[in-house]
Structure 1
Amino acid sequence: MSRKKDRRQKAILDQLSINPTLRVGRLSDLLEVTTETIRRDLEELAAEGLISRTYGGAMLRQPAEPSLSQRHTELVEERAAIGRAAAPLLSGARVLMLGSGATTTQLAKRIAFEMSDLTVIAHSVSVAAALAMNPTIQVVMAPGIYHPGEGALHGAQTVRFLSDYSADWSVTGASAISPLGPSDALMEAGDVYATMLRQSARHMVLADHSKFDRMATARYADWGEIDVLVSDARPQGPLQRALKAGGVDLRLARG
């Protein structure tokens, strides 16, 4: 691939990170090239699995979310490092709300090891099991409809339950993060995370580098609503600028 084409296709991906769906004509105007050139670029990017073609345009490809059991075996060191970096930031909290996922489970293990005398409101079985190792931590499980692939409870009952509580911090993971905010592959999880955010004084997102510059089905916040992002790498381009504009405190985990 020529350097010029490489820069142009990177610019297309950057634009799609900001505007998840764009038409060929709009991309042509933004990049000042012909629509034929844009169509060829989109076909190549689609063949590489980076985007999905739409009628007259394109959108960033939504990542397929593996089951929780599979995610527990992937990027283990990176997720453990994120958990280690996140736990000290919660010092002094008395009530937490924790979302589901492999990275939040790693954080729960660190909380059980480092913290005491607090209440954690959770909807994830693996998070609750990790916290149960510490008898000084009171775990409150939200009710709801059990999702076997995620090992967590979701639905209207879960949202109503969480709405009756307040927390010092809520902490959630994400299937994807883009300049528009964090998102989850499960719409039901997005509803739960948005509720946790509303019910907490501060909110933290945990996401490893594989989630960067991607969109998933349910965006549950914009960056102006997020206080801290803990990751194992520094985002670049539009995502980096969106975090700065939103006032997000980026914390990098060390291996």
Structure 2
Amino acid sequence: MLTRQRKELLLDRLHKDGQIVAKSLSEELGLSEDTIRRDLRELASEGLLQRVHGGALPASPAMGNFAQRQQISSDAKPAIARAAAAMVEPDQVIFIDGGTTAVQLARALPPDLRCTVVTHSPSVAVELVEHPNVEVILIGGRLFKHSIVAMGPSALEAIAQISTDIYFMGVCSLHPDTGISTGDFDEAGVKRAISNRAQRTVVLASPEKLDTASPYQIAPLSQVSTIIVNHDAPETLLARYRNMGIAITMA
């Protein structure tokens, strides 16, 4: 079998099964595991899948820059944002993450809501300027341009001093086996720190992020209390998350 044919077969199997187990596939095809793993490494370098221990999972399409990500699931994100905004109660302290869906969430908060919003996203902070009863605490640090958020030691130090009722987390990927993950090592650490200071972590998950993986784990799914997804997300994708005791809110 030619290399191109093998890679096409691997991608087709990944699309059908949602994962590749290198050992099983090598036995099925009569190929060495080294050959399968080499093909998987090359496909991963092209951004076509995410290598994990023992095989591969679908790569998240949410790895592009901010402008590119604004075009992904553009219809789903406002609905997810409205469902998230409906969870906020008066006088709560909430943390809104960075990212395209988080900006939509800031826009969706009722104009008369009284609460405190902590964020490390300048974009989110600016959206709340016209909310007279929302106290905004903006975390500073080095600007991570991919997500337009502050990161670094000063951001982590400030985050460690604040406890929140809800953390609305944006992610690149969710998977029952690999948890919540993202494409940058430092960003994963910042998100993990924010989640550790929150009573509840609510993940904003547009459909393309479900059952995908990114290189750096933020936390296992046991850290997540609720996932907000679009109303037409297939139940076949959601069932495993429900079985883990995670509440699913359909937007």
**Normalised TM-score (structure 2):** 0.80
Listed one character per residue, the Cα deviations across residues 32-62 of structure 1 (whole Å, up to 9, x for unaligned) are x35439978x969x599753679x9642353
Q: 2:13 aligns with which of 4, 9, 20?
A: 9
Q: 1:62 is matched with which residue?
A: 59
User: Conserved in 2, the CA contact under 8 Å of 1:206 and 1:229?
Assistant: yes
Q: Are residue 190 (structure 1) and residue 185 (structure 2) matched?
A: no
Aligned length: 237
Q: Are residue 36 (structure 1) and residue 36 (structure 2) matched?
A: no
Q: 1:203 is matched with which residue?
A: 201
Instruction: Return the offset for 1:28.
Output: 5.3
Q: 1:153 is matched with which residue?
A: 150
Q: Aligned partners of 2:78, 2:14: CA distance in 1, in Å?
A: 31
Aligned with 1:36: secondary structure?
A: coil
Instruction: Return the offset for 1:115.
Output: 5.4
Aligned with 1:240: secondary structure?
A: helix
Moved over 6 A (4+): 37-40
Q: Aligned partners of 1:12, 1:49: CA distance in 2, in Å?
A: 18
Q: 1:142 is matched with which residue?
A: 139
Q: 2:121 is matched with which residue?
A: 124
Q: Aligned partners of 1:14, 1:134: CA distance in 2, in Å?
A: 43
Q: Mark the runs of 5 or more structure 2 residues left unpaired by the alignment.
A: 1-8
Listed one character per residue, the Cα deviations across residues 167-224 of structure 1 (whole Å, up to 9, x for unaligned) are 1111111111111222111222211111111101111000111112211122212121
User: Conserved in 2, the CA contact under 8 Å of 1:25 and 1:35?
Assistant: no
Task: State the AA in 1 paired with 2:233.
Answer: R
Aligned with 2:233: secondary structure?
A: coil
Q: 2:72 aligns with which of 53, 71, 74?
A: 74
CA distance 1:241–1:11, change in 2 (3 Å)? farther
Task: State the AA in 2 paired with 1:234.
Answer: A
Instruction: Return the offset for 1:15.
Output: 4.3
Q: 2:174 is matched with which residue?
A: 177
User: Conserved in 2, the CA contact under 8 Å of 1:190 and 1:218?
Assistant: yes
User: Conserved in 2, the CA contact under 8 Å of 1:50 and 1:60?
Assistant: no
User: Conserved in 2, the CA contact under 8 Å of 1:82 and 1:206?
Assistant: yes
Q: 1:96 is matched with which residue?
A: 94
Q: 1:19 is matched with which residue?
A: none
Q: Aligned partners of 1:149, 1:212: CA distance in 2, in Å?
A: 20
Instruction: Return the offset for 1:155.
Output: 1.4
Aligned with 1:96: secondary structure?
A: strand
User: Conserved in 1, the CA contact under 8 Å of 2:166 and 2:202?
Assistant: yes
Aligned with 2:76: secondary structure?
A: helix
CA distance 1:227–1:150, change in 2 (3 Å)? same
User: Percent of pairs identical after alignment?
Assistant: 23
User: Conserved in 2, the CA contact under 8 Å of 1:93 and 1:169?
Assistant: no
Q: Aligned partners of 1:53, 1:143: CA distance in 2, in Å?
A: 33
Q: Write the mapping of 1:212-251 to structure 2, written as runs, cut at 5 A.
A: 212-232=210-230, 233-234=232-233, 237=236, 240-251=238-249
**Normalised TM-score (structure 1):** 0.78
User: Conserved in 2, the CA contact under 8 Å of 1:174 and 1:182?
Assistant: yes
